[in-house]
Amino acid sequence: MFTFIIRRLVQTIPVLIGVTILTFSMIHLVPGDPAQIMAGESASPQQVELMRERLGLNDPIPVQYFDYVSGVLQGDLGNSVRSGRAVSDEIAIRIRPTVELATMSTALSVFIGLIAGVLAAVRRNTFGDTFIMLVALFGLSMPNFWLGIMLIQYLAIGVDIFGFNTGIFAASGWGTWQQQVLPVITLGVAGAAIIARMTRSSMLEVIDQDYIRTARAKGVKERVVVYRHALKNAMIPVVTVVGLQFGSLLGGAVLTESVFAINGLGRFMIDAIRARDFPIMQGGVLVLAFMFVSVNIVVDILYRFLNKRIDLN
């Protein structure tokens, strides 16, 4: 296991190098003069030159890249053009709500999706199976921003339904449980639908295996057969989906963060793009890429715990 982890870490080095090249190139691939863009249209030539010097744009490209990578290795991602604060500090403030939102939403998706998928598989071709899959299809097709707006309308603002005020949860912000429930549900619904469909498909393949029939023939209780033997071996593709979903939520929760006014990393990145704050854009992409790679390593390690036959050496 230790050898596998070391090898996977080594394999991520080319990926991270590629990410640094891409993030470094962002400032040079945009149309126009980056210094002029960040200094503003009304900036004088002297101010533009100062901005160019501040960003190191007067140095040769290889020198700029070497300085950029050296700063990244030391935890220095530069300074925000808008606020002047360190990019690492700006990201640290906003990454916590995003990670918490992604973690809670994924946990909700796994909890609902596994239960629904297993129930649909053990009751295949019945009304319950059809109903669960229809609900999953509805949840998968429903846009997150629309669901968020509906939840705010009926559970946060407090519209009277049959004479009862339903204003229970907060409509914006992040911190208290009243503020967290609606965003977590908004992001968790689509993920639960995906996991439910994947779990059902994987369970149906496993249930028909010979060792499952053998366990039943030996008189093993159906609950043990389903949850200990079938589900465990059906979890490998599900874990892959969960890992990809969690990684995508880290950088793709911007719509939910915008609807619920959460000061997270996704919303912060969009604001940085609009303001042409390149240091923030570079630092945010780099951090998200590193986190996504880390999630993939964890998923690979989980494979070995779920199936001892997988060779990690």
In the beta sheet, which residues pair with residue 160?
Answer: 165
To the question of domain 92-306 being in CATH 1.10.3210.10, the answer is: no
182 versus 53: which is more confidently predicted? Answer: 182
What are the domain boundaries of the chain? 2-73, 92-306
pLDDT for res 123: 86
Show the tokens assigned to 74.
């030391």
Cα 297 from Cα 4, distance rounded (Å): 10
Greatest mean pLDDT among 11-15, 50-54, 252-256: 11-15
The SS3 of residue 134 is helix
Residue 307 has pLDDT above 80, yes or no: no
Residue 161 is inside which H or E element, if any? strand 160-161
- Amino acid letter at 182? L
Q: What is the mean pLDDT of the chain?
A: 82
Residue 161 has pLDDT above 60, yes or no: no
Cα 195 from Cα 185, distance rounded (Å): 15
The pTM (predicted TM-score) of the whole model is 0.80
Q: Residues with Cβ < 8 Å from 11, sequence gap 6 or more? A: none
Phi-psi domain of 40 (left: phi exceeds 0; alpha: psi -120 through 50; beta: other): left
Least confident of 88-92, 133-137, 161-165, 304-308: 161-165
pLDDT for res 312: 54
E-only strand ranges, the chain:
160-161, 164-165
Residue 192 has pLDDT above 60, yes or no: yes
Over residues 234-287, the pLDDT tens digits come to 888 888 888 888 888 887 678 888 888 888 888 888 888 887 788 888 888 888
Over residues 80-137, the pLDDT tens digits come to 877 778 888 888 888 899 899 999 999 999 999 999 999 998 888 899 889 999 998 8
Cα 36 from Cα 60, distance rounded (Å): 19
Greatest mean pLDDT among 120-124, 152-156, 229-233, 296-300: 120-124
